[in-house]
A and B are shown apart, each in its own frame.
Chain A
Amino acid sequence: MTAATAPVTAPRSWRVPSAAGPARLLRVELRRSPMLWLLPLLAAAFYVSTYHPAMDNPPFWNIRSAMLQSHTLLVFAPLLAGAGAWAGSRDGRRGLVDLVGVTAMPRWAGQLASWVAATIWAELLYLAGVAVLYGVTADQGAWGGPLWWPVAVGTATVAASCAVGFAAGEWLPGRFTAGLAALVVFLALAGGAFAIQDDATYAQIWPLNVQGPFPSDSYGIFYPYLPDLAIAQVMFLAGLAVAALGALGLPAAAGGRWLRGAAAAVTVAGLAAAGTGTALAGTARLEANGMVIPALHDAASDRPTPYTPVCGRGAVPVCLQPAYRAYLADVTAALGPLVSQLAGLPGAPVRVTQVDVTSVHPAPSNGIGFGPPVIEGRPAVLYLPLSGLTLPGEGNTRAAAFISNLRGQYGLEIVNEFVGLPSITPPGTGATAIGVVVRGGHQAQLVIAGALERVLGLGQQQPGPRLPHGATPAGRGPFSPGGQQLAASKRFAALPEAARHAWLATHLAALRADRVTLSEIP
């Protein structure tokens, strides 16, 4: 057909553009988006970086959802930025900028359609990964429900990565742009990790940061997941994406005067949102259940999640949160002999109850310290935190190793707590010594604690505590081998169980008050 034979059509009258044009443009962009070809690689990266490690961990919603934010985005964000840059630089690489600049649709709208198409594919793959991982987790019988805020941060990061890369590709089209965009995003993520480890105030906004220094198994079970930090991160990432896309509409070629004005307003709004999110993240503080941002905090999040504990049947029952039901036998095996040895004594726990934490305190380099088990109440209850411990099924950890670690780590602390050894953690935390004693005094308490540890076989499993100023590890200093205390400890441990029990029943109150001398110990 030549131009001469082309059918003559009547000139169309002016009409209001319908949504069919943008929808058709989006369909075209969806078909030709380079992101489509990257999907198999992203799926493989998701399997290696997220799914496989997730299956090496027990089925807890908090652990799995944290991986969707920290593990997945570390791989996805640079690749998506690179692919976004590749999509954004398409017209520039092919020398089509002038050609597409004179189409009926504003240039900015065409660019946004290309970005939307790339982002839709990336989001679909990310959400498909979320669906698979959460589906498998639900199938494995995880207690509670999935956490959606880490997924929200993930989707915002996906969109922002595509937007930043796309803008870089539009502004600097070239063969190196895509790779360099990926490299810069990678460096930004690594720099964020460095900043957060350096305790930089605003580094909490780092998109891979789930709940500050909290281990992933320590939140979202006993209390609702605190969304404060996630809200600030979504605000920051959405603002970043909007600012990057808005900046594309600023050049004269992007469209008319009004459109460029709108683009400028959008850019400013995006920058303001990103800045606000960063400023809010700077006010985040560490509390018992997660990171709290006062301006965003909802008091309803502080109410504990109701549950019916699962309890064992021993003389001193061990009660766990139902999410930990699978570990009831292991915890009972680890602590049962210990609490049974103390049973019947004044102030001895009549029950072991799991709690999320007994106390938390920040540590340098974005660290966190959890308090040990505490014995409180009347009748006394041993409150046992399991957060941060390596559970059976986590990596190569087996039940025997978990039992041994739990006895080794908490046994000494429980004994120290029982005989009244003083706390060495910051005042007000309610935490007690972790096999650590303060210099001076407490000689009888040390002797009895050492004897009980000897009887219970806890001595070989000394944990490696962080020593505070002026403290020495038990077994050294005032309790050095060969000393008078060691002899007394051995002597007391060698007593018949009934005699030990009877002496403790009589002297425990005085012992806790540190009013017992070494000569009074049989």
Chain B
Amino acid sequence: MTAAEVGRPAPELAPGQVGGSAGPGRAGRAGVRLVRLHAASRRVLACLLVLVACAAALRTALHWLPHTGVLSRQIPLIIEAGAAAVIGVTTRSPFGEPERATGRWLPWLRLALPVTLTGAAVGALAAGSASAHLAYGSVGLLRDVAGFTGIALLAAAVLGGALSWIGPIAYLGVTLPALSGGWATPWIWPARPPHDRGAAICAALVFAAGVAVITARGARDSVRE
């Protein structure tokens, strides 16, 4: 786009609609376009492809994994953390300050995107584990993915969207020894059984905090990136 093109209508809009009556149809189309552009700027399609790959990896792993023991938990957890890390990376904005200054609907988009992607991740991984034995089941999957995603979102707010993967990966590194160590703290929720209320509350709190921070402030912009 050049400077000469500024002010021209977007290709999706008919010429008669420019400056004309603003109907609900136009608002709807503009909203859809806004969501589409926001999703494109965050590489949502690539993220969804990675989530599908994670689901396929989980399905493959569950075919080989034992039904009990630490390994039956470790590999699914790694895949869940990977899915959360990818969701965190989508929070990175390529526009930075101009987007924040002009985007009136930006907080809503920032709220919707991680929540939707988290739902997609849970759905994809649940589908991947269907008809196979997943230790801790779908409830554990929901809790763990939500908690990991919350950590990724908080890391995005602190480190920047592109480096948000550090949060869930580092947390996972601390968590894996806890699986065999029998840690009791609910803040290491992957080591707790799925019906553990404290662990579920901690994971939900982290997810809510991550979503709230990303909605309000967005991912941290790095000067270098």
Q: Chain A: residues with CB nearer than 8 A to chain B?
A: 38, 41, 45, 48-49, 53, 71, 74-76, 78-79, 82, 86, 93-94, 175-176, 178-180, 182-183, 186-187, 190-191, 193-194, 197
Q: A74-B173, A194-B75 are in contact. Are A183 and B81 (CB under 8 A)?
A: yes
Instruction: Pull 25 A–B residue pairs with CB atoms less than 8 Å apart, ordered by A.
Output: A49-B174, A53-B177, A71-B177, A78-B169, A82-B165, A82-B169, A175-B162, A176-B43, A178-B165, A179-B82, A179-B85, A179-B86, A179-B88, A179-B165, A180-B50, A180-B82, A182-B85, A183-B79, A183-B165, A186-B78, A186-B169, A187-B78, A190-B71, A194-B65, A197-B71
Interface assignment of B106: CB less than 8 Å from any CB of chain A:
no
Q: Are A180 and B86 in contact (CB under 8 A)?
A: yes
Could you tell me if B163 and A178 are in contact, using CB atoms closer than 8 angstroms? yes
**Beta-carbon contact of A187 and B173 below 8 Å:** no
A48: B residues at CB distance < 8 A: 174
A194 and B170 in contact, given A183-B85, A187-B79 (Cβ under 8 angstroms): no
Contact flags (1/0) for B53-66 with A, using CB distance below 8 Å? 00001000000110
Expressed in whole angstroms, the minimum distance between the Cβ of A409 and any Cβ of chain B is: 21
| Contact in complex: A86, B177 (CB < 8 Å) | no
B174 contacts A179, C-beta separation under 8 Å: no
| Residue of B with least CB distance to A48 | B174
User: For the complex, what is the distance from the CA of A349 to the CA of B50, rounded to whole Å?
Assistant: 66
The count of chain B contact residues (Cβ–Cβ below 8 Å) is 34
Chain B, 171-206, CB within 8 A of any chain A CB: 172-174, 176-177, 181
The 9 closest A-B pairs by CB, nearest first: A179-B165, A75-B173, A183-B82, A179-B85, A182-B169, A186-B78, A190-B75, A190-B74, A48-B174
Contacting residue for A175 out of B43, B82, B174, B181, CB 8 A: B43
Q: CA separation between A86 and B89, bound complex, in Å?
A: 13
B contact residues vs A (CB 8 Å cutoff): 43, 46-47, 50, 57, 64-65, 71, 74-75, 78-79, 81-82, 85-86, 88-89, 92, 161-166, 169-170, 172-174, 176-177, 181, 225
Main secondary structure, interface of B, reads helix
In whole angstroms, how far apart are the Cα atoms of A178 and B81 in the complex?
14
Closest residue on chain B to residue A179 by CB atoms: B165
Q: Which of A179, A187, A197 contacts B57 (CB 8 A)?
A: A187
Closest to A53 in B: B177
Residue of B46, B81, B166, B172 contacting most chain A CB atoms (<10 Å): B166
Nearest Cβ on chain A to B219's Cβ, whole angstroms: 11
- Cβ of A308 to closest chain B Cβ, rounded Å: 36
CB distance from A192 to the nearest CB of B (A): 11
